[in-house]
Each structure stands twice: as C-alpha cells, then as structure tokens.
Amino acid sequence: MTLALLGWSIPLQVVFNGLSLGLGYAVIAAGIVLIYRCSGIINFAQAAIGAFGVASFVVLFQNYHLPYPLAAGLGVAGAALLGVTTELLVVRRLFDASRVVLLIATVGVAQLIAFLIFYVLPPVKGGPIPVAFEAKWARFHLGDSLVVGTRQTSLVLLVAPVLIALAWFLTRTRLGLHIRAVADNPANARLVGVSPRKVSTLVWGMAAAFAGYTQIAVAPIVTRTADELAGVSSTGLLLRALVIAMAARMRSITVVVIAGLALGAFESLVAVNVDRDPGAFNAFLLVAVLALVLALTRGRTRPGDTSIAIGARSTPIPESLAGLRWVRHAPAGGMVLLLAIALLVPLFVEKPSQLLVWTEVLVVAIAAISLTLLTGWAGQLSLGHFAFAGVGGLAMLAFTRGQPMGLGLPIVGNVVAVTVDVPWLAAMALAIGLGVFFAVLVGLPALRVRGLFLAVTTLAFGFMAGSWMFNRAFWNGGRQSVRSAIRERPELFGVDFGEPRNYYYLCLAFLVATVVIVSHLRRTGAGRNMIAARDNEAMTAASTVSPTRAKLTAFAVSGGLAALAGCLYAFLLPGFNATGDASPFSPDASLRLVAIVIIGGVGSIGGAILGTLWVLGLPALFGATDTVQLLTTNIGLLLLLLYLPGGLIQVVQSGWAATIRYAARTHGAATRAVKPASTVAFHERRHSTPAAGTPWLEAKGISVRFGGLLAVDDVSIRVEAGETVGLIGQNGSGKSTLLNAISGFVDHDGSVSVLGRDVSSRAAHERHAIGLGRGFQDAGLFRSLSVRETVLVALEARRRSLILPALLALPPTNRWERTKRAEANDILDLLQLGQYADRRIEDLSTGTRRVVELACLVANGAKVLLLDEPTGGIAQREAEAFVPVVQRIQRDLDAALVVIEHDMPLIMAISTRVYCLESGHLIASGIPHDVGNDPLVVASYLGTDDRALVRSNQPATAP
C-alpha cells in the first residue's frame, strides 16, 4: 500500500523499515541521554563503542563460528568493557575539566576505537551480517502489503524489551532512582549515600553495553554485508542520535523513542523520494535541527551548557616591566623565530610532495586560528568548521573558472544561474564574503542556544555541506571530483604561484597576516568584547555592549578566515572530491580541526599553530606511519588531554610565567614604568538629565514569570533625581529579579523608563547605554579577563570599538585604545586597584571584585545605578569602608542609586526611600522610618530573617 502526500509517495513498507531503523537510532540516543544526565558529558564515542561491539561480534561469528548468542554476548561485553575503561581512564581523570575538553576527549576515544577496529581486530571474512532470528516464523505478512522481514523482527524482538527494561530500571529500581538523583543534582548523591563516581562508571558500562547490543541488532538493517561494516560512518549515526537526544532535551527516554522512530521513518522516505541525492537527508537533518532549536529554546530551559570554560592562561606583562625591552618583545620574538624556521623550510625540503604537506600545515594553521577565535574567545563550539573552508575553497574555484552559479535546492531545482568570472584576488574576496555569510547564518542559532545545541547545529551543518551542499552544481561544477586546480594557481606581480615554492611563501604570507590581524584583534576592543560575551553575557550587556553582536562578529571573522584557508587549500590540491569521506572539507576534517585547537591549547594563537604542527607536522617529519598517526591523533590526543589539559601551549606559558617572575625579581621595583600623565576627566558626562520633575527611573506594573512561578507580581517603583532607594525583602522575594527586569535581562510585563525615555522594548545593552548602571549579586565580572581589560570593556560605553578598523589596524583603533587605557589606569588608581590591574578576575577575592565592579560603574558613567547586595560576601569591617566609596561615586557621577541590601541599619541610614518585597509583591514603600515600623514589613522580614539583623555572608547566586 502506498500513500501520497505533497508529491511524495509514502509506501507503508518503507515507513515500516524506517521505523525499525529509527528504533536503532533511538537506543544509541538513549545511551547518550543516560550518560549526559549522569555526568553532563556528551559522549561522542557512543556510536563508536557500539561499532566495536558489532565488529567483535561479526568477527567471532564469521571467523570463529561461535553461535549467535555467544558471539553477540561477547560483543556486548566487549563494548561494555570499552565503556568502563573509557570512564576509568579518561572521564574520571578529566572529571573537573571543562565539559568541552571531555567532549573532545570522547572524540579522541571514538577515533581510537575506529583504529582498534581496523588494526587490532582480525579482518572479517565476508558474508552477510548475521541476523538473530532467521527462522521462518520471523518473516511474515502484516495485512496484504506489508512484509516484515527477519531483520526487522529480530530488531524489534531484541530492542523493544531492552528499552522497556531501561525505562523500568530508571523509574522503578533503587539503583535507577539513585542514578536519576545524581543526574539531577550531584550533591544529592551524598545524601542518598551513593558515590557519584561509582554511578558514573556503572552508567558508562551500561550505556556502552547498550550501544553494543543495539548496534548488533541494527547492523543487518544498516548494511548488508560484513565488509561494508567498516565503511558505515559512525559520525552520521552519531549525528542522528544527537538530534534525537536533543529533541528529547536530553531527558525523556519516551521522547527519545518517539523522535527516533520519526527520524528513521522520515529518512527512509527521503531515500525513496529524493534518491538521486544520497546526501539529501542530511540537508533535511539540518533543517530539523534548526527547527528544533527554534522550537525548544522558547521558554527558559537551556539544556546542557557546555560553553567553553577554558581559555589560555597567558601571563600578561606587568606594567612595571613594560620598560624592559627584552620582556616586551619576547612573545613577538618567539613568533619571529617560528617565522624564520618557516621561511627556511622550502630550502631543506626536496620532494615536492613534502613541500605540499608543509604548505598544508600553513593553510590548516589559518583555519585553526579562525576556530581559536570562535571557540577559544567567543566560546562558540563549532564542530563543522571546515565546511566554511569548503565554502571558501569551492566558491573560489567556481568564481575563477567562470562556472555558472546555481542555487540548488532539493525541491525547487536550480533557480538562479549567474556566471561569474573574475580575477583570482577578487574571487578570493568574494569567496571570503561567502564564508562570512554562511558563518553568520550558522551563527544565528547561537544567539538563542549554547553548548550542546550549538555543537549539534554546527555538526549538522558540516555534515550537510560535506555530503549534500558541496554536491550541488554551483560548488563542484557538476562533477564528483573537482577538476585539478593546481595549474590554475594565480599569477600576481609577475610571480607565478603555480611554482610550489612560491605558493608555499604565498600561504606563509597569508598565515603571517592572519596571526598579525587576529592578535591585534585580541588586544583591542572587538576581541575583548567577544571574550566578555563568553564569560558573562549580562555583565557584557551592562557594559552597553551587545553580546549578540559580539558573538556574530566572532562568527563572521572566523568564517571569513576559514574561507581564506579554504581558498588556499583548493589551489593546493591537485584535484579532490568536494563531498564524501575523502573530501578535504569533510566533517571528519572539521573534527580533526577541533582536536588540533584543543591539543594546541584553546584560545591561544600560538596554541593553534603548535596544534597544527603536532597533528600535521609530525607525520610530515617522521612519515605518516601508523605509529605516528596514532601519536598525533588518537592516543596522542588523549594522552595530551589527560596530562596537559591546557594543551601544548601550557608548556610555553609556564616557561613564560617563570620568565616574568624572574624579570620581576631582578628588575621589578627599579624600572617601574612612569605613569603617563593623566589626560582624562574622571568621568565623562554621557547623559543629559531629564527635565526637573521627571523621575530618573520609573518601572510600572512589572511582572516576571519563571514557568509556573510568578517571581515578581505587578511591582511599580520610581526613583527621583539623585535619590538613594533601598530595596529590601527576604531571600527569594524577587529583588534581584526586579532589577533584572529593569535591566532587560529577563522578559517582563510592564513598562520601564530611564531618564524620561521609555525603554520597555529595548534590549539590555541599549537600556544600559541610555543610562542604567548595574552591579550584580555575584560580582562575577569577566573571569578570564584582567582587571584592566574588564574596565576597558566597561569603557565601551564611552567609545565603542569598531571591528573593521581593528581588523585592518586602521585609525582610530590604536588612538582610541591608548586613550581608553589611560582612562582605565586613572580609574583603577582612583579606586586603588592599580596593583591588581594585570590580575585575572577569577584570581581575585570577592571584596576586590566588588571594588572592580565599582570601577566599571565609574567607567560607564551611568546615571541610575542598580546595585545588588554590593557588600555581600565581604567582611563587616570592609563593608563599612565600602559604603562611603559607593556614595562618593554616586555623588561624583551625580547619579541616582537603587540598592538591595540586607544590612538594615545601613540601608535605613543611607536611603531616602525604601521598598519592601515579599514573594514578588510590593508590601511597603516610603521613608525608611515608616517602612522600618510597618507591621507587614516587621512580620514578613525584620521579624523572621535573622540576616536582617546579622549581616549576611550568603554565597551569591547568579542573577
């Protein structure tokens, strides 16, 4: 029986086969969900572990003729063993590392397993993949048109009970409940008396056994013969499983099963209806991912934050040593040394193929730097980065070849056909532009999602591009293999770049330009803003910088650089496949690039280069033997991660830190740099005050809802010119949420106006640009920036950094940077923070961080300051000294102040008026004396909360 819908035929048989395939996907996804819930890790090795199970099973069955149950049992056991080993050797060691390091570690594990399957297991004797139940009864008709084959029957009989058992185990058994308890909150584990580590090992073993078991059941459906088994892309399987896990928000096993079935059925239908295009399903998969991202991120749930919490820890040169030339020039000196070696390489390399490899190193280094910028600075994990390189490279070839440009869509066909034929430099510019375009497009979901979702989105994009998009006529000229490009290498200024040596130097020049541009970017505002947006979005917006824009900028710059690398790559190779596993722009190349960046050290340009040298340079030096490959990718990657979680650059950085310490010991005090004469006013008056009588801040009818909880209920507050307004109430009464609504950090009903301007529909950064200044309960600031850099971000309020001038090192970038630096130093001196200027925020005490936050308010020059427990987390004596500082800043800025404070005598003394909240309601407002004696306030707050009398040392919670 066949149905038809929108021109697609829907044969029942196909749907049924698809459903059984989907069941297989679902179980792999269930394993991923299980591990994720228990340890927050996205296990990229899940499919590979299963593949190991299948491979050992097939070997045992075919080569050694073990009976099916025994062979399958051993296969499952092998997979389980692999899972447990991974947990014990890798996961456990990296338990405290950033989740993304763990993610990459599991990618390494996956590669290692592929290696094991290929080299350690004996090769499989051919033949079909064994099916569990081959008896007659297992093959039957359902109705008159549906044939249920033995493979499907076996799959359902094998997998369905296991899925039910899993659901039962998790919801009904003691151990299952423990696992769920630990998954929901690791601290629970201690309460219920289970060791989280033991649970972790158990879950990994279970999930791995699961993967092995189901993949054994699914294998006959995915591939027909044992030989094909090795060719099944586990990345494709993984991507499908991840999409399913994502649809279930990494939670419900039921949703996993439903989503899996749907995906399997859909995939089979695509294969029947769009069969001309084997990769077409991946295009649909990307669409599905994007739809999921849009559908699931509405509301407040933000599953799986795996934003990169690592950054290269380079020691900045202290101002006191800035006078020492050799210290100042040392980092550049290191780069120059590397450059000198790079310049000499062609003189020592004889074979052209060798030179080709070294040229490749240069090109990949450019791509690695572009990923460093995106992942290391902006914290956006891109698992499909080489697709941007592919966009650049293939577009460049198309442009220079005068190939007709068709926008191929799977259904509509080629709708646009334009022929472009331009000189190669112009083609390169166009190709880079296209790279920027695609990167921004892929980056758009990143505005709504982080971590896992973004990783899956970029992975899906890389997959779609590598298997389908690059197969369109526009990208590959309609041929499977892109025509040899080597003879088309350009000529410029009379230099023939068709000559390999010249081309090497051309690529080197581009690499040097990339290093110069990107490191310049890091030292100026645009780069700082990217890191700020990664570390703390709310604080970035409070500094009047749009985190959205900072992230998109990172995507754009990074995509452009990757496209540049692609352009150079396309001319390097003597012809290549645009799609498929052998393509230089395949998803595997993207994963390798992530590994390169992690091996080198995320976030550092030097690290990106070191990583490339390690992964590509070592094989070039010592020959690409299996051992070298093993060292540079699989095992090497794992060992490096385990022993040098900061990457190779960590070694360089430790050496550098020691050098600085040495220099400081020998020259420190003597050569204290002369402070540049102060040229700047203590603050600039950014905002004109509104007409007399207009309140400076007015919030009317503010309500904030978190799911079912009404955290703030119809609250109105008003702040007049120059007032100090206190906000009091028990913990959890909605004080911080009210300030967050006014700041624009949470969605709210009601209206807010600042200095007489209605800002209700404005984004947070715009509200702060109009005159709000904000301090946070946790004073988190930007953990990986230095104190001076933090103030520099706040100074964006005065002078916005421009991205294009910064990229091209054009004015006014450097002049503005100098001015800002002088301003920052002034402000730091004013608050006696000079000695901390070069310290990283995360190394400071809470007290110091609170002072830095004040420095940021000064830098901002805001008119309405909103402070959330400004003395929280600091000792009583310091707090007493702190308040006059706040008041002085308020006076100097001529600002109004709204302050949340638990210290009652203090708040009553400094406030002109006080508001009191209880469970989201405003219960009293007025002059301090009246509010302090209001019976409601006494009953709700003063009488019950000890901390209203004793100062709080409560650990802060994020706003």
Contacts with ligand ADP by CB under 6 A lie at 300, 706, 709, 711, 729, 731-737
For ligand ADP, give the closer residue by CB, 742 or 893: 742
282 near Mg ion, judged by CB under 5 A = no
Q: 405, 396 in Cβ contact below 8 A?
A: no
For Mg ion, give the closer residue by CB, 201 or 777: 777
Cβ at position 879, least distance to ligand ADP in Å:
18
For ligand ADP, give the closer residue by CB, 2 or 731: 731
According to CB under 5 A, which one of 736, 825, 911, 940 is a site residue for Mg ion?
736
Q: How far apart are CA 18 and CA 912, in angstroms?
A: 70
Stretch that binds Mg ion, among 345-353, 367-375, 628-636, 777-785 (CB under 5 A): 777-785
Q: Which residue's C-beta sits nearest to Mg ion?
A: 736
CA distances from 22 to 30, 260, 619 (A): 12, 5, 40
Cβ at position 919, least distance to Mg ion in Å:
14
For Mg ion, give the closer residue by CB, 650 or 736: 736
952 near Mg ion, judged by CB under 5 A = no
Cβ at position 764, least distance to ligand ADP in Å:
14
What CA dihedral angle connects 338, 339, 343 and 346, to 10 degrees?
A: 50
733 near Mg ion, judged by CB under 5 A = no
Q: How far apart are CA 681 and CA 404, in angstroms?
A: 59
Taking each continuous run of H as one helix and of E as one strand, the counts in the chain are 37, 20
Cβ at position 912, least distance to Mg ion in Å:
22
For Mg ion, give the closer residue by CB, 458 or 736: 736
382 near Mg ion, judged by CB under 5 A = no
Cβ at position 955, least distance to ligand ADP in Å:
12
DSSP string, 408-434: EETTTEEEEEEE----HHHHHHHHHHH
Q: Which does 734 bind (CB under 5 to 8 A by kind): Mg ion, ligand ADP, none?
A: ligand ADP
Cβ at position 895, least distance to ligand ADP in Å:
22
Q: Which parts of 599-638 interact with Mg ion (CB under 5 A)?
A: none
Cβ at position 868, least distance to Mg ion in Å:
6
For ligand ADP, give the closer residue by CB, 604 or 737: 737
Q: How many residues does the chain have?
A: 959
400 near Mg ion, judged by CB under 5 A = no
Q: Which does 70 bind (CB under 5 to 8 A by kind): Mg ion, ligand ADP, none?
A: none
The CB-side HSE value for 718 (13 A sphere, CA atoms) comes to: 8
For ligand ADP, give the closer residue by CB, 318 or 729: 729
For Mg ion, give the closer residue by CB, 3 or 950: 950
For ligand ADP, give the closer residue by CB, 44 or 776: 776
Nearest to 436 by CA among 402, 389, 506: 389
In terms of Cβ atoms closer than 10 Å to its own Cβ (0-12, 13-18, 19+), residue 667 is middle
Q: Which does 9 bind (CB under 5 to 8 A by kind): Mg ion, ligand ADP, none?
A: none
Q: How far apart are CA 16 and CA 177, in angstroms?
A: 34
Q: Which does 706 bind (CB under 5 to 8 A by kind): Mg ion, ligand ADP, none?
A: ligand ADP
**Token code pair at residue 933:** 């004696």
What CA dihedral angle connects 80, 82, 83 and 88, to 10 degrees?
A: 130
For Mg ion, give the closer residue by CB, 306 or 736: 736
Region of residue 143 (left: phi > 0; alpha: psi -120 to 50; beta: else)? left
Q: Which does 154 bind (CB under 5 to 8 A by kind): Mg ion, ligand ADP, none?
A: none
Q: Count of residues binding Mg ion (CB under 5 A)? A: 2
Cβ at position 947, least distance to Mg ion in Å:
12
Q: Which does 711 bind (CB under 5 to 8 A by kind): Mg ion, ligand ADP, none?
A: ligand ADP
730 near Mg ion, judged by CB under 5 A = no
Give the CA radius of gyration of the chain.
30
Q: How far apart are CA 641 and CA 602, in angstroms?
A: 12
With tokens 């300051």, the residue in question is 865
Nearest to 218 by CA among 173, 290, 156: 156
Cβ at position 950, least distance to ligand ADP in Å:
17
User: First vs last Cα of the chain: how many Å apart?
Assistant: 57
Q: 374, 558 in Cβ contact below 8 A?
A: yes
Interface residues with Mg ion (CB under 5 A) are: 736, 777
